[in-house]
Amino acid sequence: MGLKKILHMNTGNGKTSYANNSSFQNVVISKTWDLVDETLRNMLENHGFSGSCMNIVDLGCASGPNALRVVSHVMDTIHDLRKTGDCSCCKPLEVRFFLNDLPDNDFNSLFKPVEDFNEEKRLVCGSIRSGCFIYGLPGSFYTRLFPTKSLHFAYSSCSLHWLSQVPRGLESENKENMYISIASPPEVVDAYAQQYKRDLMAFLSMRGEEMVDGGSIVLTFIGRKFQDFSSKDESGQFTMLSQTLLQMVAQGVLEKDDLYSFNVPIYMPCQQEVESIIDHQGSFKIDKIVAFLVRWDANKYADELPFDKNRSGKLVADCIRAFMEPMLVSHFGKSIDCDDIFQRYAERVGEHLAKERSSYQMLSISLSIS
């Protein structure tokens, strides 16, 4: 089965859905606002906007509240910039806002609240006619999604670390690991890094063709601090999930061969790597890069409540389950017991966090067409 079919978040609004377990991504999104605002300000100040309709996309929006938060913030920023800007840009502006994800994303749940959202936004923006029309855009962001020179602004958060496929040839090499670990052989690291390079080059080249002159992008994704994978395990969540599955293999609950052939299509690049690929590809210039840390158990209560290893372990497990469950079920079969896996995993992560409050290194990049 193609990756496009098995890579999707848990659907709906239930207990294990992405919509209810995306507080880590929600915290990340909040930390991107300054860069989004700065990028939009530069874009409008330096290039103006003479048309009447702007095309904007959120690439890899998933479903749940995060997607409409992005629409709302971008629209409010544009509204404020135009209100305070000089009159040359105060003509009525309408926005086509595209919500993009892979075709198996839960677009139905995503679009249910859109009608209420539109009503609310119309009250705010109605007077200056900054109308926002929201569309679904199914398709891979590694392919063309827009006509030539038609896209003005693109945003993406927590999506671009997903590869277009599991790198080829890992099956016999990566054994009990599902991603790069501190002990992974150089062939595994190289296969992942090469796949990432191919994918990011394709992404930049597609967007380069689609963007209008003066268009901009803000991309935020999980990265890593250290260039050398063997210096520190920065992908501990996957290492711990591998260890959980390995324990279940040892107990006869899962098949060893199934675990050995399971690898995730994710790559967390370091800043130098990303800069070098963007420079080499050449469609965009980097205006700004911001690196920041986000705790694994980040959520809106994180700084208010005292640390509790059980609560934090469960938060991380629920978040990981929301995107790993469809992949695990597809690979290990429908009889796999995800309640059991993520209960064990939550305990393991909780014990780890009690010793070390781990964070992910996030990279946020503002690009403009060169």
Ligand X SMILES: C[S@@+](CC[C@H](N)C(=O)[O-])C[C@H]1O[C@@H](n2cnc3c(N)ncnc32)[C@H](O)[C@@H]1O
The contact set with ligand X (CB under 6 A) reads 7-9, 22, 25, 29, 60-62, 66, 100-102, 105, 140-142, 157-159, 162, 164, 323
Residue 153: alpha-carbon gap to chain centroid: 17
Q: Which is nearer to ligand X, 130 or 366 (CB)?
A: 366
Backbone angles phi, psi at 339, to 5 degrees: -60, -45
31 or 288: whose CB is closer to ligand X?
A: 31
Host H or E run for residue 350 = helix 338-355
Cα 211 to Cα 118, 130, 137, 148, 316, distances in angstroms? 26, 21, 16, 7, 36
Question: At closest approach, how far in Å is the CB of 300 from ligand X?
Answer: 14
Angle at 168 between CA 317 and CA 104, to 5 degrees: 50
What minimum distance in Å lies between the beta carbon of 355 and ligand X? 26
Integer CA distances (angstroms), 116 to 112, 121, 345, in order: 8, 9, 38
Closest separation in Å from C-beta 170 to ligand X: 18
283: amino acid identity, one letter: S
**Least distance in angstroms from the C-beta of 252 to ligand X:** 33
Looking at beta carbons only, is 144 or 256 nearer to ligand X? 144
Minimum separation from the CB atom of position 246 to ligand X (A): 25
Which residue lies nearer to ligand X by CB, 248 or 319?
A: 319
Between 157 and 181, whose beta carbon lies closer to ligand X? 157
**For tokens 């995306």, what's the residue?**
22
Least distance in Å: CB of 231 to ligand X?
26
- N residues, the chain: 370
Pairing of strands 151-157, 211-223: parallel
In degrees, rounded to 5, the angle at the alpha carbon of residue 70 between the alpha carbons of residues 69 and 74 is 120
CA 41 to chain centre: 23
27: which residues sit within 8 A by CB, 6+ positions away? 294, 298, 299, 300, 302
> Nearest approach, Cβ of 68 to ligand X (angstroms)?
11
Compare residues 44 and 206 and give the one whose CB is closer to ligand X: 206
> Which residue, 109 or 261, is less far from ligand X as judged by CB?
109
